[in-house]
Amino acid sequence: MRTIRQVFAVTALNLRNLPQRLASSAVAVVGVGAVVLVFAAVLSMAESLQRTMLSTGADDAAVVMRSGSTSELNSTLLNDQVLIVANAPGVLKDGDRPVMSAELYVVTDIRKRSNNTDANVPFRGVQAGAFDVRDNVRITEGRMFEPGKNEIVVGQAAQSEFVGLDIGQSIRFGQIEWAVVGTFEAGGSVSESELWTDVRVLQSAYRRGNSFQSVRVRLESPESIETLRQALDEDPRIDPDVLTERDYYSSQSQGLVQFIKIVGYPLTILMAIGAVFGALNSMYSSVSVRGKEIATLRALGFGPTAVLISTIVESVLLALVGGLLGGLLAYLVFNGFQASTLNGVSFSQVVFNFAVTPELLGQGLKAALAIGVAGGLFPAVRAARLPVAQALREL
């Protein structure tokens, strides 16, 4: 009990004369703040990308492509193969019409607003069933494209990221003018990075004859994926890869997310190590500046434990202040920030919004706490072991 009272007394004393050590304390605070800022930025980038890509995928929808394609862009399916998939067991039917959409996925160059250079924007040809296969897609402004016309609807994210996609504008790819007639949302998923049009129109614009790249179907239930896969595997007329939409998008996002983590984590860890050095330095100097004060306290009867703990508390508090500032800055700068990058697998842009979530900030504060403890421990031990008589004689 006495020790606890002493800890409070010494800590309060330390904090009261903190302003006298402002410069060295600021170093610790800023160091930890920078770590948490970068930490939050890297993590939110990786998580936002993953969330954007994964929220696209449902468990009760399937993507069928030619086997070995790894991505829609590489696949080819002919019209009769599409019909085989549509009529296979496991596919949900609305009356006697299967809920499906055969799609063509190409890439077109459009300028990015942020750096005014051309980027590979995904351009998807869909059938009317596309809105039933994906249940989170809906037109928010304007209207749906009319089949057979050179009209497109654009995802919300694509509209704000790229130039010339506002409703009423028309955009030219090669020889063909396309009228932008509507905007759609898709629950923040990767579909919002895309432009959509009638698949027949896209086939003729890109001279793809009557070929498609993927078929999306609604499944009767998530378990029906096995029924569908087995039926198609046994059919000699088709050699497909059958994936749930969720698995497909998780395979598409893996490389990108892993890359950010492989590059981002080591950098953050390195920065954290640097911050520990900074915190150690400022705590050592705090102990050495207060040498006489600590010795006086010890002479008055304060125990070494109280001195030890109070030094660690000081370090942790400084680190937490830094962590909070870094987290706040990360939130102000990055939260809601829209960015886009090239996904190597699909060779097209993914537009995503950074989300600096409370969990992420919590993780950042935990890191700050760890840095504070690591930076305070050794100086605290030194403070506690300070030989009283000698310290009083110095200075």
Partner 1 sequence: MKYVGFVWKNVWRKKIRTSLTILSVLVAFLLFALLSAIGYAFKSGADAADAERLVVIDKVSLINPLPIAYRDRIATTEGVRSVTYASWFGGYYQDPRVQFPQFPVDPYEYFSMYPEFEIPRERLDAWANNRQGAVLGRELAEQFGIEVGDRMPIQATIWTKADGGRTWEFDIEGIFENEDPRSSSAFLLFQYDYFDEARAFGKGTVGWYVLRVAPGSDPVQVGNAIDAQFANSPNETETSTEAAFAQSFAKQLGNIALIVTLILGAVFFTLLLVSGNTMSQSVRERINELAVLKTLGFSDGAMLGIVLAESITIMLIGGLLGLGIGWIVVQGAAQAMGACLPGIFLSPQAMGTALVIMLGAGIVAGIFPAVKAMRLSIVDALARA
Taking the complex as a whole, the smallest distance from the CB of residue 275 to partner 1 amounts, in Å, to 8
DSSP 143: -
Q: Is 308 exposed, middle or buried (0-12, 13-18, 19+ CB in 10 A)?
A: buried
- Residue 300 in contact with partner 1, rule: CB under 8 A: no
Of 15, 18, 24, 185, the residue at the interface with partner 1 (CB under 8 A) is: 24
Query: How many helices (H) and strands (E) would you count in the chain?
Result: 12, 16
Q: Is 195 exposed, middle or buried (0-12, 13-18, 19+ CB in 10 A)?
A: buried
* Residues whose CB falls within 8 Å of the CB of residue 356, separated by 6 or more in sequence, listed in order: 40, 44, 327, 330, 331, 334, 335
| CA nearest neighbour of 196 among 184, 212, 211 | 184
Q: How far apart are CA 141 and CA 130, in angstroms?
A: 18
- Per-residue burial over 363-389, b if 16 or more Cβ lie within 10 Å, else e, is bbbebbeebbbbbbbebbebbbebeee
- Residue 277 in contact with partner 1, rule: CB under 8 A: yes
Q: Nearer Cβ to partner 1, position 132 or 161?
A: 161
- Residue 236 in contact with partner 1, rule: CB under 8 A: no
Q: How far apart are CA 61 and CA 96, in angstroms?
A: 18
Q: Of the ranges 93-101, 279-287, 357-365, 385-393, which one interacts with partner 1 (CB under 8 A)?
A: 279-287
- Residue 275 in contact with partner 1, rule: CB under 8 A: yes
- Residue 118 in contact with partner 1, rule: CB under 8 A: yes
- Residue 177 in contact with partner 1, rule: CB under 8 A: no
Tokens (6 digits) for 30: 């800023």
- Residue 71 in contact with partner 1, rule: CB under 8 A: yes
Size of the site for partner 1 (CB under 8 A): 61
Taking the complex as a whole, the smallest distance from the CB of residue 108 to partner 1 amounts, in Å, to 5
- Residue 175 in contact with partner 1, rule: CB under 8 A: yes
Q: Of the ranges 6-14, 33-41, 221-229, 308-316, which one interacts with partner 1 (CB under 8 A)?
A: 33-41
Q: Nearer Cβ to partner 1, position 102 or 280?
A: 280
Tokens (6 digits) for 6: 């002493």
- Residue 337 in contact with partner 1, rule: CB under 8 A: no
- Residue 160 in contact with partner 1, rule: CB under 8 A: no
- Residue 332 in contact with partner 1, rule: CB under 8 A: no
Q: Nearer Cβ to partner 1, position 189 or 282?
A: 282
- Tally Cβ neighbours within 10 Å of residue 341: 15
- Residue 107 in contact with partner 1, rule: CB under 8 A: yes
- Residue 280 in contact with partner 1, rule: CB under 8 A: yes
Please give the sequence-ordered ranges of beta strands (E in DSSP) within the chain, or none if there are none: 61-66, 77-78, 93-94, 97-98, 100-111, 118-126, 138-142, 151-155, 170-173, 176-185, 195-198, 211-212, 214-218, 240-244, 338-343, 348-353
Taking the complex as a whole, the smallest distance from the CB of residue 273 to partner 1 amounts, in Å, to 6
Cα dist. 215→59, 78, 233, 317, 361 in Å? Answer: 15, 10, 15, 57, 40
> Between residue 343 and residue 362, which ones bind partner 1 under the rule CB under 8 A?
344, 347, 349
Q: Of the ranges 12-20, 23-31, 82-90, 141-149, which one interacts with partner 1 (CB under 8 A)?
A: 23-31
Q: Nearer Cβ to partner 1, position 1 or 395?
A: 395
Q: Report the DSSP pairing between strands 118-126 and 195-198.
A: parallel
Q: Of the ranges 186-194, 214-222, 274-282, 364-372, which one interacts with partner 1 (CB under 8 A)?
A: 274-282
Of 12, 128, 163, 270, the residue at the interface with partner 1 (CB under 8 A) is: 270
The per-residue DSSP string of 71-140 comes to: SGGG--EEHHHHHHHHTSTTB-EETTEE-EEEEEEEEEEEEBTTT--EEEEEEEEE-TTHHHHSTT-EEE
Q: Of the ranges 5-13, 55-63, 252-260, 310-318, which one interacts with partner 1 (CB under 8 A)?
A: 252-260
Q: How far apart are CA 156 and CA 182, in angstroms?
A: 10
- Residue 203 in contact with partner 1, rule: CB under 8 A: no
- Residue 296 in contact with partner 1, rule: CB under 8 A: no
The residues of the shown chain that bind partner 1, judged by CB under 8 A, are 23-24, 26-27, 30-31, 34, 37-38, 41, 66-71, 73-74, 76, 106-109, 112, 114-115, 117-120, 173-175, 206-207, 239, 254-255, 259, 263, 266-267, 270-271, 273-275, 277-278, 280-282, 284-285, 339-342, 344, 347, 349
